[in-house]
Amino acid sequence: MPALLAALAGGTVTAFTAKTLDEGQTRDVFVRTNHAGEPVSLSEGTGVAVSCATTALLVRDDPALLAACAAGALGALDDHREDTSAKGLKGHLQALSRGQLTTGGAKLLGISAAALVAATMIARERDGGAHVVDIATDAALIAGGANLMNLFDLRPGRALKVGALLTALGSHRRSHAAGLAGAIAAALPGDLKGRTMLGDTGANALGASIGALLARLPSRSARLALAASFVGLILASEKVSFSAVIDANPALSAIDMWGRS
């Protein structure tokens, strides 16, 4: 599929889905309060999730389709049925150790399982066959991407900017990357204005889709480096505030603030 058509499809599906939800009778179901205490709609996230799945269908990438659908569905569970008894990776793991399955715990287990299956599918497509190192690395990219994107979805436009940067790293698969870029471009204006946000649905689906895209990088070293970076940032987030780090760095702060109204 031509990259331009993929980009147009990705953007159109995102915009159409979000608009349909915002104008439908269930629009109030998607309204939340953002960090500034203002109402914001999660319709963008559903639009991005549907777009990620549609892009995977159009480029005939079954592992990416599995990753997008599983991450988006489990993210929606957390968006609409969130259990607030546990917070963060450590909190959900502690709850699981006590036999308590929170929505965050379900998301952790479900996305990890889907990532492992998708990674195995990708590894089997390689000429050398499925190697344990490749499967583990690609699963970390997919599951880690879903989690990491969610961690950045705390300020207007932040997660989408990070998503755009990571998508650019996967430009060797032009049509798939273009479809994701189209979804990001369509979602960015409303997100920057603080009217809409990705939520778990969109952040998890976009992050998992980007992870599946990066899992197709031909260099094992590059994939290992990215996977290690994802895991390192996720672990660091348990101790360090991303917002505090960004605000303290003039360059990062300028990028973070760009485009916000």
DSSP per position, 191-207? HHTTSB--HHHHHHHHH
Mean pLDDT of the chain: 90
Summarised one tens digit per residue, pLDDT across range 210-237 is: 999 999 999 999 999 999 999 999 999 9
Q: Which of 160, 151, 204 is nearest to 185 (CA)?
A: 160
Q: Which residue has the higher pLDDT, 22 or 35?
A: 22
Summarised one tens digit per residue, pLDDT across range 38-87 is: 888 999 999 999 999 999 999 999 999 999 999 999 999 888 876 666 56
Distance of alpha carbon 31 from alpha carbon 78, whole angstroms: 14
* CA dihedral (64, 213, 202, 150) positive or negative: positive
Q: Which of 241, 259, 205 is nearest to 54 (CA)?
A: 205
pLDDT band at 9 (very low <50, low <70, confident <90, very high): very high
Backbone angles phi, psi at 106, to 5 degrees: -65, -40
Q: Are 194 and 261 in contact (CB under 8 A)?
A: yes
pLDDT band at 209 (very low <50, low <70, confident <90, very high): very high
pLDDT over 80 (residue 127): no
Give the position of tokens 């101790």.
239
Q: Which residue has the higher pLDDT, 35 or 7?
A: 7
Segment 152-160 mean pLDDT: 94
Three-state DSSP at 116 gives: helix
Tokens of 234: 């996720």
Give the relative orientation of helices 250-257 and 158-169 as an angle to the nearest 10 degrees.
100
